[in-house]
Chain A
Amino acid sequence: AQKVTQAQTEISVVEKEDVTLDCVYETRDTTYYLFWYKQPPSGELVFLIRRNSFDEQNEISGRYSWNFQKSTSSFNFTITASQVVDSAVYFCALKEGSTNAGKSTFGDGTTLTVKP
């Protein structure tokens, strides 16, 4: 069975600080996909990144970066120089299999508050 653990329920930082959101996953599949989503108060899920199980290369997109380590089953997300607009709930998700029929399992989410 799949499981995604986001141990940090809430994080509060001051603007311009760096912050890392942790994500640890469990799966028996050898092929899987990991995602991060941002959910602002409006509720819509905003897609941030997708990473497949065969690609451990870390990725940077502007102030966002992701560290994928299969050895520790972790897919952590770092926001550099945080801004108030980054305040939201962030979800890590795991999608099984190599077909589009694989369902996604979400972590419980981390509520990030960035204070001015």
Chain B
Amino acid sequence: GAVVSQHPSWVICKSGTSVKIECRSLDFQATTMFWYRQFPKQSLMLMATSNEGSKATYEQGVEKDKFLINHASLTLSTLTVTSAHPEDSSFYICSAAGQALRTEAFFGQGTRLTVV
């Protein structure tokens, strides 16, 4: 299957700072990327959908000014958690889908964010 690389796999940051998470499709062009958040022992909740070259579409209740998503190229999307707070601590997972991969989106390894 197609490979999606997410970086970093874990990060600890201080409250009030910003953290950037990268999601790269390594062997295909990702026209659409999805960002999910997963709290401990809970399911994956879609945060936003981004299409290359356009603004991301955020799910209801997700603050777009806090979770900045950039999808500037067909192989890279970034999620920036701005002014992070302890309640933002979570597992963030991206997935990527390409035009040639119509039925499936492939997931990155996930990023565990801890805000102290």
CA distance A108 to B45 in the complex (A): 10
Closest to B6 in A: A44
Residues 3-41 of A contacting B (Cβ, < 8 Å): 33, 35, 37
Q: What are the residues of chain A within 8 A of B110 when measuring CB–CB?
A: 43-45
**Which of B12-20, B61-69, B78-86, B96-104 lies at the interface with chain A?**
B96-104
Q: What are the residues of chain A within 8 A of B103 when measuring CB–CB?
A: 33, 50, 52, 95, 100
Contact pattern, B 35-46, Cβ under 8 Å of A = 1, otherwise 0: 000100111111
CA distance A112 to B14 in the complex (A): 35
Interface presence of A85 (CB below 8 A):
no
A91 and B43 within 8 A (CB): yes
B105 and A95 within 8 A (CB): yes
B46 and A104 within 8 A (CB): yes
Given A43-B110, A43-B112, A47-B107, A98 and B44 touching (CB < 8 A)? no
Given A33-B104, A52-B103, A100 and B43 touching (CB < 8 A)? no
Interface size on A, residues (CB 8 A): 23
CA distance A37 to B99 in the complex (A): 22
B102 and A45 within 8 A (CB): no
Interface presence of A70 (CB below 8 A):
no
A45 and B43 within 8 A (CB): no
Q: Which of A44, A95, A108 is close to B107, meaning CB atoms less than 8 Å apart? A: A44
Closest to B99 in A: A100
A101 and B49 within 8 A (CB): yes
Q: What are the residues of chain B within 8 A of A75 when measuring CB–CB?
A: none
Residue from the set B1, B45, B110 with the largest chain A CB neighbour count within 10 Å: B110
Q: Which of A35, A52, A101 is close to B32, meaning CB atoms less than 8 Å apart? A: A101
CA distance A52 to B103 in the complex (A): 8
Shortest C-beta distance, A40 to chain B (Å), equals: 11
A-B contact pairs, 23 of them (CB 8 A): A33-B103, A43-B109, A43-B110, A43-B112, A44-B109, A45-B93, A45-B107, A45-B110, A47-B1, A47-B104, A50-B103, A50-B104, A52-B103, A100-B98, A100-B99, A101-B49, A103-B46, A103-B49, A106-B43, A107-B43, A108-B43, A109-B42, A111-B41
